[in-house]
Amino acid sequence: MDKIIATSPTDPPYERPSVTRMLDMAETIVVRDGWKALSVRSLGKELGLSGPALYKHFHNMDELVDRVVQRIFARFMEYIVQYKIRTREAFTPDSPFSQWAEVIADGEAYLSFWAENPQWFDAFQSRALEHDLLAFDPTIPADIVETDVHAALEHSPAQAMPPLCAAQAVAWYLSTTWFALASSIRAEQHRGAPIAWDRYHAAIAASCTSWNPRNPHLSP
């Protein structure tokens, strides 16, 4: 006679991991082991699932990576929105940087997000090196930065280029400058040094006008 193994009626039935849990685990793998370690096979091993089961949700490796990046992007976008709400009163109308207030808030939120999420800064920086990309950072919301820059330039008396071309050029300049500042903050974190936020906020404000030598607010 076959042996009968009794189970408790309270034992929960096995449930397949949700897509949210799959992506949570994918993030864990990236932060812990790097992008190269993320694969359908490694994800399945962590979750106890076969490749075919995962392919029902992610058609290929590129889609899995894109979904992870999109999650970080969504968090960053929400972070920017909330940061700007908290700092909306930081600039008075008569401030020399008042027309750049939205852009400055973008930059401050950018640095603050990375400082609070250093594991993702490291992950994206390593991905840049793996793919030989300059200052690669998919969480730079270029369209929003460019929109805010365009609005600032419309009120700038020292505009030297057509607004659209200038907005695109300045948005690129800011994205690379802010990436460098974020890298500096990460270096301070590695050293265990306190972050000099006043200095970084001043650098963000300066970056919004230093690109244009005709700006009247620049020091001679």
Burial of 43 (0-12, 13-18, 19+ CB in 10 A): buried
Residues 147/117, Cβ–Cβ less than 8 Å: no
| Residue 86 and residue 168 in one domain | yes
The arithmetic mean of pLDDT across residues 72-92, rounded, is 80
Per-chain mean pLDDT for the chain: 76
Between 23 and 208, name the one with better pLDDT.
Answer: 23
Do 117 and 200 fall within a single domain? yes
Residue 195, pLDDT > 90, answer yes
Please provide the size of the chain in residues.
220
Q: What is the DSSP letter of 134?
A: T
- The pLDDT assigned to 21 comes to 92
Q: Based on the fold, state whether residues 116 and 172 are members of the same structural domain.
A: yes
Looking at the structure, tell me whether residues 43 and 127 fall in a common domain: no
The whole-number average pLDDT for the span 189-199 is 92
In contact, 120 and 69? CB cutoff 8 Å? no
The verdict on 50 and 103 lying in the same domain is no
**Same domain membership, residue 187 and residue 103:** yes
Q: Supply the range of the domain harboring residue 109.
A: 75-210
**pLDDT number for residue 217:** 45
CATH assignment at residue 40 = 1.10.10.60
- Which whole-number Å values give the CA distances from 10 to 5, 13, 14, 18, 78, in the listed order? 15, 9, 12, 22, 41
In a domain, 4, yes or no: no
Note whether residue 46 is domain-resident: yes
Residues 53 and 152 in one domain: no
Domain assignment present for 69: no
**Contact present, 115 and 190 (Cβ < 8 Å):** no
* Same-domain pairing of 174 and 90: yes
Residue 68 lies in a domain: no
pLDDT band at 104; cut points 50, 70, 90: confident
How many domains does the chain fold into?
A: 2
Residues 86 and 50 in one domain: no
